[in-house]
Structure 1
Amino acid sequence: MNLMTNIFSRLLKRNHKVNFIDSIEEYDFIKLLEYDKNTKLIADSAMENFIIPFPNFAKTDFNNGHNWNVTNKRYGKSYQLYIHSLRFVGSLLLEYDKTKDIKYLEKSENYIESWIDFMESKQKNEMLWYDHPVANRVQNIIYFLYLSKNTLNIDERKYYKLLKKHGEFLMDDKNYKYNNHSLMMDRSLMILGNILENRELFSTGFRRAKETLWYSFSSQGSHLENSPDYHRMVVKMYQEMERYLNKHDQTFGDVINKKLSVAGEFLPVISRPNKRLPALGDSGNSALGRKKVFKNFSDDELGLTVIQSENFYASFTAGYSTITHKHRDDLSMTLYYKGDDILVDSGKFSYGGDIRRRYIMSPQAHSTLFFDKEDYKLDNDNRFSTKVQTTKYFDNKKYTFVEGKNHSFESSKLSRRLIALKNYPVVILLDSAQSEVESNIYQNFNLSPQSEIVNYEANTAKIKTKSGNIVTFTQLQDIKEKIDVLPSQTEPVQSIVTSGYGKAVETKQLRFSAAVNSNSDYVFKTIISMDDSLSIQVTDINEFALQISVNGEEIFINI
């Protein structure tokens, strides 16, 4: 046991209240779950010794003994994470809180006592003492203790020792990583500190929560973990903690609350016109649940640009400030027009070693550029090195322009310029590449599963969207290799997108290819037209400008 752990132990022991359980009130903790359609199902299943770690996860059978090491290949590490969070116990407690049927509370005690026995057996388990499950397990145990006072005969000293052990883990800086899991740790430390009347625990959680906010959000209020779903979760956590602090006559303060207010404006802007969040990074196709805001957005700290109107939406990814929940999706785009997804991202699958997870995180699963002989690695230092970055953004009455670079390869460089016209459903891509070794570069388009490829040639492809609209992809220069149409397959994994946690659906990809060397400039000049009736012609292009004619209207674009 190190010096800091000894100090924490002494502090906790010194502050031990003989009747600390009796003093726990409802305002002293935060319920991790809300009662919903899954609560009774999970609780009743647990009553029969079938554990559902998370809604819609497969059950595991505890009838022949409580197997706290049980795994499930489909859900990867998440299966163990939620089991050791005692999330299912939280559902039992909610059901007891609603019905006052003592069997749910007694079953909760049975599972918690079983977990304690497993913990004390000192078996090896990665999720036994890991940030997320430790932080959330504390909350579920405290909720149990609150409901049990004056009802069950609880060994107070045993549970005091248990909470103390969790506090020591949460206080240890080596377990802290300044991400959303760490914020869970801070929340639990503040709650533990108040319940155990230990100022050191509370102050550490309070201080680190404030520090993590400034590390985790951009100057524009974007959460930097590369995922709209996690933005929503983290903002909600801060708001819950602020309400908790207010009940104890404390606050994060005006500056942080104003920052959270700005962060609250993010999701209505970056959501698609159909009020669904884009499946960027480890996000799903979840509902916004609020009024949609139609305006453009670009944040180079986050590495995301959104160009939109009521009928049109394009996202462009270039850059990142942390690798948490980050895919290798730089220079990728999504595209939506008149109610139809055209190009989609792969989205969240799971957090285990499943080969589909590895594919979904790769450039090949996104509408981006990649080499056949060289790949790039994600680097936490990109926040400072900016090897991958959104380098330019501007907007005028005729068009919106965004440019990004990916210079994180060993011997190659990539850049993409995306231009969206204002008065016509047209997107122009100007893709550049240089490499010190001769190789092929691929321009990949990840199609919506609802789309159908109706025609393709060497330099042109047409797809039909779900509603029957025709979208045309045209290369403005000869591509020597014939366009590839990549169907979905499992060996190797190819052309899939996620439809839910641990679920994937088939789709198709369009892929153009070209040779690249150190002298290459624009390897692809591509027009994507979402209106088959438009007459489009590029009349001039050089390193500074592009001139395009659409239905006879000449549009001059600075590039």
Structure 2
Amino acid sequence: MKKTFLFLVFIIQILPVHSQPDSTDIKNYNSGYGYDFIINNKKLNIISNSRNIYEYFKNKQIDSCILFDFNQFINEDNYNKGLLLKNNIFLFRDYDKTKLSKDLSWKESPFNNRNWQWYLHQLKTIQFFISAHHYTNDNTYLKLAYKHSFDWEKDNLVRPFPSEFSWNDHSTALRLLNLLYLYEYSRNVGELNKKKFEKLTRLIVLHINVLIKRSFYNKGNNHGLFQSYILLWALNMFPEYINFDNYNSIAKKRTLFEIKHGITEEGVHIENSPSYHINHLILMSKIMKIFDYYGIKYNKAKYYDLLNKGFEFVYYCVKPNGYIPIIGDSEDMKLRKNSYLNNYNFLPNYQLLRVALGEEEPNKHTPKYKYYPESGYFIYKSLKNSVENSMQLIFKSGFLSFTHKHSDDLSFVLNGFEEDWVIDGGLYDYVYNNQYRNYFISNRAHNLVIPDSLSFIRKWSSLKKSNLDSFIVNKDSIYVRGTHFLYKNLFTKRSITIYNDSCFVVSDNISLKNIQNKKSNYDLLLHVPLNKKISVINDSVIIQGINKKLIITPINTDFDKIEIISGQLSPEVQAWTSSNFRKLEKCYCLVFRKRAKDFHSFLKFEFKDL
């Protein structure tokens, strides 16, 4: 069965917590101090005036903005997970089912995996319980949602916290969102009594008070965006909260900053992965809906422009068959229509998004290529008359952010004639110090020239040390060049010249600095899917596919050896790919070896009929 890309599922790389709630947060929570609301011009406390506050919110108009959002996750899959949870069986994403105790300690990590714990502590289970209630109308599931939430509260407001994700920057924001879902869904179905209201509202306000802290705010990455917009959303669902005006101003300012910080003027997300670009567009469109619903002012024209440019990038980066290329931390999943993005179908480039979705035929006037020098992408995409005759090449060189960054500057991937030919490594998992994850983010998992087994320099000083710096369109060819300084004492250049939909040349040059006549061992790596048949005849490599063959021929270049590796574990990990989360697969790695002082090579790639 083909997998589809669920736009609202975000697997985000976990970053360290900046700060955690201090004793004042917990003390105030237990006492009710600072948990005041202004209702009918009166200051009411959540504990001492809970009856009046409850009656007010019980009769308040239903918030259709949050209802629209959680309707995205009410589905049969989550319903089935809710049924399992009734028997304490947990199922998160691609992990196996696991049965846990009724009384969780919140230290549980059955797979010894941080990502699984991240799911647990964001209270994603609320979504499963709500889906089960929606399908069955059985109040048992809502009772379990509250029991689960308040059990988390019991064990995670006491130091030492049971998990690093008790108050992680990202899990805290997503947990608040799930608590908001539970609150508004319960109100909508008339199942929010006074006792649950008081406890749930206090828990929501505690999360607001934690997220507002400057020391807790993870500025300048996707975690900061989640923190900011969810905080803003919670505040606008509770504008009666006594600190609303000050907190709302801060949350709005942070949200606008994070949106702008996360995307270039070319409309491309800076976090190095097409999947995250798509996710950022969805978050942008969701946030714009939030702004519009609550009457929050913002520069609509500017965000329409960024969203419109972002649609164009989706068109170019998605493969001709509608799947997302596994560049960076992306997964091989099919692009899927999204209800938030549909709200902006009036933007001119939405038509390109429809083509990428397979809902519309390509326009013959759409350019075959797009150059994004600021963002570090060149994409050639020729759809011709059908997917079967298509060709796509993505050339990447840009270091704008460490988040989801692989050592892939100057790498390229190739798809043509409905097949992958040159592929990237993929995501594998969000785990530290794992040999496969370390491999997939290293330069050895990408299609690059590696001198003397060197790794890229990954420091703050590396930012913007790689780029695309030349682009020329001639009558009979398109030329693009990228450079980087990510190897110590080396200047690395790669250019690609495309002659037509079946032929291009890749040129590599590496120059050493301040090293006298020292020779180095160079490996030029190309990763090829395992379903291809590869042969080396004289100096040429022939890769045979279903309907075509790709011939790679050195031009005026003598390699010492050409090797084919697959699924290697020692002396180092090599020739693996990960098309989907936690999936490990063998692939081929072509290694063109050469020993020289400087490295210069030309490789001609040409498709031929079988």
Shift of 1:196: 3.0
Q: Letter of the 2:436 partner, please give it.
A: R
Which residue matches 2:284? 238
Q: Letter of the 1:146 partner, please give it.
A: E
Which residue matches 2:552? 473
Shift of 1:490: 3.6
Shift of 1:532: 6.2
Which residue matches 2:355? 291
Q: Equivalent residue of 2:506, what SS?
A: strand
Alignment check: 8 A CA contact 1:84 1:127 kept: yes
Which residue matches 1:541? none
Q: Equivalent residue of 1:463, what SS?
A: strand
Which residue matches 1:510? 590
Query: Pairwise mapping of residues 395-410 of structure 1 onto structure 2 (< 5 A)?
Result: 395-410=473-488
| Range 223-232 or range 389-398, more displaced | 389-398
Alignment check: 8 A CA contact 1:226 1:281 kept: yes
Which residue matches 1:447? 528
Q: Letter of the 1:238 partner, please give it.
A: M
Of 33, 41, 44 in structure 1, the residue corresponding to residue 83 of structure 2 is: 44
Which residue matches 2:339? none
Q: Equivalent residue of 1:58, what SS?
A: coil
Q: Equivalent residue of 1:489, what SS?
A: coil
Q: Letter of the 1:296 partner, please give it.
A: Y
Which residue matches 1:547? none
Q: Equivalent residue of 1:35, what SS?
A: coil
Q: Equivalent residue of 1:394, what SS?
A: strand
Q: Letter of the 1:415 partner, please give it.
A: K
Which residue matches 1:85? 122
Q: Equivalent residue of 1:48, what SS?
A: coil
Alignment check: 8 A CA contact 2:428 2:583 kept: yes
Which residue matches 1:187? 229
Which residue matches 1:548? none
Kindly provide the CA deviation profile for residues 345-373 of structure 1, in whole angstroms up to 9, marking residues without a partner as x. 11221111332111111111111111224
Which residue matches 1:347? 426
Kindly provide the CA deviation profile for residues 307-333 of structure 1, in whole angstroms up to 9, marking residues without a partner as x. 121121111111121111111011111
Which residue matches 1:307? 380
Of 436, 440, 464 in structure 2, the residue corresponding to residue 360 of structure 1 is: 440
Is 1:387 the counterpart of 2:465? The answer is: yes
Kindly provide the CA deviation profile for residues 256-310 of structure 1, in whole angstroms up to 9, marking residues without a partner as x. 2332232222201221222222111111122234313653112122211101211
Go from structure 1 to structure 2 and tell me whether the alpha carbon gap of 1:37 and 1:347 turns closer, same or farther (over 3 Å shift): farther
Go from structure 1 to structure 2 and tell me whether the alpha carbon gap of 1:421 and 1:196 turns closer, same or farther (over 3 Å shift): same
Provide the rounded CA distance (Å) in 1 between the counterparts of 2:109 and 2:23. 35
Which residue matches 1:260? 307
Which residue matches 1:170? 211
Query: Pairwise mapping of residues 93-242 of structure 1 onto structure 2 (< 5 A)?
Result: 93-122=130-159, 123-149=161-187, 150-153=190-193, 154-174=195-215, 175-197=217-239, 198-242=244-288
Shift of 1:73: 4.7
Go from structure 1 to structure 2 and tell me whether the alpha carbon gap of 1:355 and 1:155 turns closer, same or farther (over 3 Å shift): same
Shift of 1:38: 1.3
Of 238, 250, 262 in structure 1, the residue corresponding to residue 296 of structure 2 is: 250
Provide the rounded CA distance (Å) in 1 between the counterparts of 2:322 and 2:186. 42
Which residue matches 1:278? 325
Name the TM-score, length of structure 1 as normaliser. 0.87
Provide the rounded CA distance (Å) in 2 between the counterparts of 1:374 and 1:500. 28
Go from structure 1 to structure 2 and tell me whether the alpha carbon gap of 1:10 and 1:371 turns closer, same or farther (over 3 Å shift): farther
Provide the rounded CA distance (Å) in 2 between the counterparts of 1:152 and 1:337. 55
Alignment check: 8 A CA contact 1:270 1:297 kept: no
State the aligned residue count: 523
Which residue matches 1:425? 502
Shift of 1:226: 1.0
Kindly provide the CA deviation profile for residues 49-104 of structure 1, in whole angstroms up to 9, marking residues without a partner as x. 01123x33222322364242222558x42111111111122121132134321011
Shift of 1:155: 4.3
Q: Letter of the 2:205 partner, please give it.
A: K
Provide the rounded CA distance (Å) in 2 between the counterparts of 1:367 and 1:240. 36
Provide the rounded CA distance (Å) in 2 between the counterparts of 1:438 and 1:221. 43
Provide the rounded CA distance (Å) in 2 between the counterparts of 1:3 and 1:42. 36
| Range 2-11 or range 64-73, more displaced | 2-11
Provide the rounded CA distance (Å) in 2 between the counterparts of 1:121 and 1:447. 51
Which residue matches 1:554? none
Shift of 1:444: 0.4
Go from structure 1 to structure 2 and tell me whether the alpha carbon gap of 1:490 and 1:382 turns closer, same or farther (over 3 Å shift): closer
Provide the rounded CA distance (Å) in 2 between the counterparts of 1:395 and 1:37. 50
Q: Letter of the 1:41 partner, please give it.
A: N
Provide the rounded CA distance (Å) in 2 between the counterparts of 1:72 and 1:333. 38
Q: Equivalent residue of 2:608, what SS?
A: coil
Provide the rounded CA distance (Å) in 2 between the counterparts of 1:497 and 1:251. 45
Provide the rounded CA distance (Å) in 1 between the counterparts of 2:471 and 2:33. 55
Of 377, 399, 414 in structure 1, the residue corresponding to residue 457 of structure 2 is: 377
Shift of 1:382: 4.5
Q: Equivalent residue of 2:561, what SS?
A: coil
Provide the rounded CA distance (Å) in 1 between the counterparts of 2:322 and 2:197. 49
Shift of 1:3: 13
Of 326, 343, 347 in structure 1, the residue corresponding to residue 405 of structure 2 is: 326
Kindly provide the CA deviation profile for residues 16-39 of structure 1, in whole angstroms up to 9, marking residues without a partner as x. 563375247233636354223411
Provide the rounded CA distance (Å) in 2 between the counterparts of 1:103 and 1:300. 55
Provide the rounded CA distance (Å) in 1 between the counterparts of 2:227 and 2:61. 20
Provide the rounded CA distance (Å) in 2 between the counterparts of 1:121 and 1:7. 13
Kindly provide the CA deviation profile for residues 219-278 of structure 1, in whole angstroms up to 9, marking residues without a partner as x. 111111111111111111121122222222334332223322322222012212222221
Go from structure 1 to structure 2 and tell me whether the alpha carbon gap of 1:209 and 1:64 turns closer, same or farther (over 3 Å shift): closer
Kindly provide the CA deviation profile for residues 470-491 of structure 1, in whole angstroms up to 9, marking residues without a partner as x. 2111112353521111111344
Is 1:35 the counterpart of 2:74? The answer is: yes
Provide the rounded CA distance (Å) in 2 between the counterparts of 1:308 and 1:242. 31
Which residue matches 1:523? 600
Q: Equivalent residue of 2:355, what SS?
A: coil
Unaligned runs of 5+ in 1: 534-559
Q: Equivalent residue of 2:425, what SS?
A: coil
Unaligned runs of 5+ in 2: 1-20, 39-44, 47-52, 337-353, 357-361, 384-389
Shift of 1:524: 1.4
Provide the rounded CA distance (Å) in 2 between the counterparts of 1:260 and 1:389. 23
Q: Letter of the 1:167 partner, please give it.
A: I
Q: Letter of the 1:160 partner, please give it.
A: T
Q: Letter of the 1:364 partner, please give it.
A: R
Shift of 1:179: 1.8
Identical residues among aligned pairs (%): 20
Go from structure 1 to structure 2 and tell me whether the alpha carbon gap of 1:495 and 1:67 turns closer, same or farther (over 3 Å shift): farther
